Structure formats: structure tokens, C-alpha cells
Amino acid sequence: MAGDLYSLERRKRRKQQAGRVALYVALSAYALVILYPLFWVAVNSLKDNQEIFTNPWGLPSHPLWANFREAWSDGRIGMAFKNSVIVTGLSVVILALVSPMAGYALARLRFAGQKTVFYLLLSGMFIAPITGLIPLLKLLRNLDLVNSYFALILPNVAYGLPLSVFIMRSFFIGIPKSIDDATMVDGLTRWQTYWIVMLPMALPALYTVIILQTVYIWNEFLFALVFVRAPELFTLPRALVTFKGTFITSFGPLNAAVILSAIPTIILYAIFSDKIRRGMSMGFSAKG
């Protein structure tokens, strides 16, 4: 009997080990598929056009680090980097201020039409930005905001709010209501309860909102293509298009510009990936 139990336990352990090995192999293959294009772009950023076409898969024979300098200065990537920082920073700050307050109000306060407001806000997640492009362009033109930072900030905030509020509301719903009652007994107002107690508890979800929206807005291209015409206001995705010439394209500096534009978001996600997973799991585990 003991021998049968030992044999059964050993087979179970082998199955678990085999499953773990299969999982690691699958994840390694997936990581290779994701990381190899980045490696290929990084390698070709150190080549000239001739070497890229003759040896696209090999390492550079003579690395051209000047491609990065050319992309930063001649390609105006430095100016575009500054514009992306301004647009992304201001948009994320507005979202970080508004979405927690809206999420808390929809999760904790009781008012007429509360569910209607929530579902109307939630419906914004299912509206593709391209469908509102022409009305937005007319609105921004009437407000004299075309060719300005606000032509990018306001649409990014509008399209970022539905998901941000949804994440924050889900998190606040998961916090026991007894905490609110305790703060009221202690004499705190509703605003003090939110600012002193609830918001610090919701920081994991807020970090998730900040990081997700930063990555999205940093890489946003459609609004920058339509709403901004002045080269000195181009963001990074829009500036990358200028590397493509009519008759010839310098692929080395273009790949260097792609690497420069991707580095901030890669670093940001690598540092805060644990906070993203924790905030998403805690937020979506709550019942709305």
C-alpha cells in the first residue's frame, strides 16, 4: 500500500515537472518572438543602408554610432522627445487626478442616474478613436486648438478616462465599506475620507492607470498625424514618419530613432511591471 502511494506521488510529481518544463519552453519561445524584433532593430540601427540590404540578419561589421546622433539632432528626435514628454506628462497627470475621484464617486456615492453615468462612461471603451476623428478635428478647429499641445492632450484624456475610471472603480468596490463608516465616525468628511484613507489604499490601481496610459499615449500616432501639422510640435511616433523620404530612406538612423523612442516605455514597464500586475489583479478581482 505504501509502495503504491509512493509510486502515485512520484508520477504526480513527474507530471507537474513535465508541465512546468512545457510552460517554460512555451514562455521562452514567446519571449523570443517578442524580443527578436527589438534585437533586429537594435542591430540594424548600427548599419548603413548598404549593409542592411546585403546583410540584414548579421551583426554590423563597423558599428555606426553616429546614426543615433543623426537621429537625435538631424532627425529632430530630440525635439519630438520633448514634445512627447509634455503631451504624455500632462495627459497622465490629468487622468491621475480625475479618474480616482470619478471611480470613487461611482463606487461609493449614491445619486440618481449613477449606473447610467457609469455605463455611458464605460461605452467609451468601445468607441474606436478613428470614428471620432472628423468631429474632433472640427471641434478643435473651432476652438483654435489645432497645432497645439492641447490638440493631443484633450483627446488622449477623453479616450483614456473610460478604462482608467473602470480600473479605479473596480478597486474601490473591493475595499470594505466598513472603512468608510469608521472614518465617518471619526469625524472625517467625505473628501477627507477619499484623500487621506481611500486614495492611499488605491495606489496600486492608480499606478496601473498611470503606467498603462503612459505607454498608450507615448505611442499614440493617429491624433498626432491629424491634429498637428507643425514639425516643431511632432511627437515621437509622428516624427518617425519624417525619416521616410520620397526616393530614399536612411534605415540606420530610422532604426536608431525607433530604439530611442522605445527605451523610455521599456524601462518604465520593466521597473513597474509588478505594480501593474498587482493593480490589475486586485482591481479586476472585485465585483462591479
Q: Specify whether 32 is located in the same domain as 84.
A: no
Distance (Å, whole) CA 181 – CA 202: 17
Q: What is the pLDDT of residues 170-205, one digit of tens each?
A: 999 988 888 888 888 888 888 899 999 999 999 888
Q: What was the pLDDT predicted at 286?
A: 47
* Structural domain contains residue 58: no
Q: What is the pLDDT of residues 22-80, one digit of tens each?
A: 889 999 999 899 888 889 999 999 998 889 888 888 889 889 999 999 888 887 889 99
pTM of the model: 0.84
Q: Specify whether 28 is located in the same domain as 75.
A: no
Q: Specify whether 135 is located in the same domain as 247.
A: yes
Q: Specify whether 25 is located in the same domain as 148.
A: no
**Residue 139 burial by CB count (10 A; 0-12/13-18/19+): exposed, middle or buried?**
middle
Within 10 angstroms of residue 145's Cβ, the number of other Cβ atoms is 16
CA dihedral 156, 157, 160, 162 (to 10 degrees): -140
- The residues, ordered by sequence, that sit 6+ positions from 153 with a Cβ below 8 Å of its Cβ are 87, 90, 91, 94
Q: Specify whether 34 is located in the same domain as 98.
A: no
- The residues, ordered by sequence, that sit 6+ positions from 171 with a Cβ below 8 Å of its Cβ are 103, 202, 204, 205, 279, 282, 283, 286
Structural domain boundaries enclosing 128: 68-284
**Nine cell digits for residue 250:** 536612411
Q: Which amino acid is at 252?
A: G
Nearest to 191 by CA among 74, 101, 283: 101
- Distances, alpha carbon 113 to alpha carbons 9, 116, 120, 161, in Å: 57, 5, 10, 19
Q: Specify whether 9 is located in the same domain as 140.
A: no
**Nine cell digits for residue 59:** 551583426
* Structural domain contains residue 49: no
The residue written with cell numbers 489583479 in the block is: 281
Q: Specify whether 143 is located in the same domain as 247.
A: yes
Q: What is the mean pLDDT of residues 81-91?
A: 95
Q: Is the pLDDT of residue 87 over 70?
A: yes
CA dihedral 168, 169, 171, 176 (to 10 degrees): 140
Q: Specify whether 147 is located in the same domain as 223.
A: yes
**Nine cell digits for residue 180:** 468608510
Q: Specify whether 33 is located in the same domain as 89.
A: no
The overall average pLDDT reported for the chain is 87
* Structural domain contains residue 56: no
* Structural domain contains residue 9: yes
Q: Specify whether 136 is located in the same domain as 206.
A: yes
Do 124 and 160 meet the contact criterion of CB atoms below 8 Å apart?
Answer: no
Q: What is the DSSP string of 158-203?
A: HHHHHHHHHHHHHHHHTS-THHHHHHHHTT--HHHIIIIIIHHHTH
Q: What is the CATH number of the domain that holds 224?
A: 1.10.3720.10
Q: Specify whether 172 is located in the same domain as 218.
A: yes
Q: Specify whether 103 is located in the same domain as 235.
A: yes
**What is the domain count for the chain?**
2
Do 105 and 193 meet the contact criterion of CB atoms below 8 Å apart?
Answer: no
